[in-house]
Structure 1
Amino acid sequence: MTWTVPELVRVDEPHIADERTMLDGWLDWHRATLVRKCAGLTAEELARRSVPPSTLSLQGLIRHMTDVERMWFRKRFLGEDIDLLYVTEDDDTADLLQIDPATAEAEFTALVDEWNAVRTGIAGACLDDLFTHERGGQRSLRWIYIHLIEEYARHNGHADMLRECIDGVTGD
């Protein structure tokens, strides 16, 4: 049996809520949108680089966003001593470029697992909690939320084009 990306229920973002609920809602909406762009595709389709001359693929976006979540929330904000899953010191493009359809299912699972680890890790944190960035200066948890929402929004636009070229599916 061929593995395909499962459907994920995407809950509408809150329209009226406190700031933390609003940020959580928008981040979850964008997370689910990336999966929605991939839903029903096979591993081979996820790996397809469908918008030449770009080397971008939906599988690469899944890997990239897994490392982005891990880096910002867990390594930088929470200070966990963990490695990124795909990017290395020797290859900072491995998340996007070193793809293999044989690993797509495990990488999809890793993305969902990362979301759950992030949710658990930051559950008691305040938006005003700070961390020191390795390049200097401090940033807040609020800043990470906004940055991740922007990152997902940008890459979801890429995912729109990739998916449309694979099988013609469009939509939000």
Structure 2
Amino acid sequence: RGKFNSRYTYWNKAAASYNEALKTLTKEAFPKLHLEVLQDLIKILVSLNETEVAERLRREATELIHRLLQDKNYSQLSQQQLTDKLVQFEQLTVNILIQSGQIAEALATAEQDKNVCLSWLLDALPIPDYPDEIAETATYEIQQLLNPQTVAIYWHLSDAALTTFIIKSDGLLPPENCLSISQMNLKNG
């Protein structure tokens, strides 16, 4: 129990420090550093189960990246580096959805991330094309391949966690059985 409280205290202090850093490293004056601090802060917030704040900051970061990708005069990060950052922030969505208990949506988002990244790599697209709507058919499509004696195991790796989804022929296992590594570390201290 002491380890848990100690880690929780350190993460709260880290979050406070990152928030303080964002006051100085504004997105207007220091966009590159602002994105780096946001990324680290979001990981901490996911670990602290502060999903609403994490999602708001993730949206803010992706909007900033899209703006910078459109800005032809921006030179701190190359198009490739900005695209890599976009992918990293989009991957954090899965962790946020897991924390919110939205397992089917998290799996659909993980599948979408995988497909976007594969098409991006294969087609050498400059900017991944993330659809506005998430197709939530991933679970159903995977279930069609299963029978009552089999399960599918699906992994998603982001900067914040390694998440395992377990899909049975009759559906996803409940959230408590699909925890990510970062959540297990938090709970087991």
**Structure with the largest fraction of helix:** 2
Determine which structure has the larger strand proportion and give its number: 2
Compute the TM-score of the two structures, normalised by the length of structure 2.
0.30
If you compute each CA radius of gyration, which structure gives the higher value, 1 or 2? 2
Greater RCO structure (CA 8 Å; 6+ sep): 1
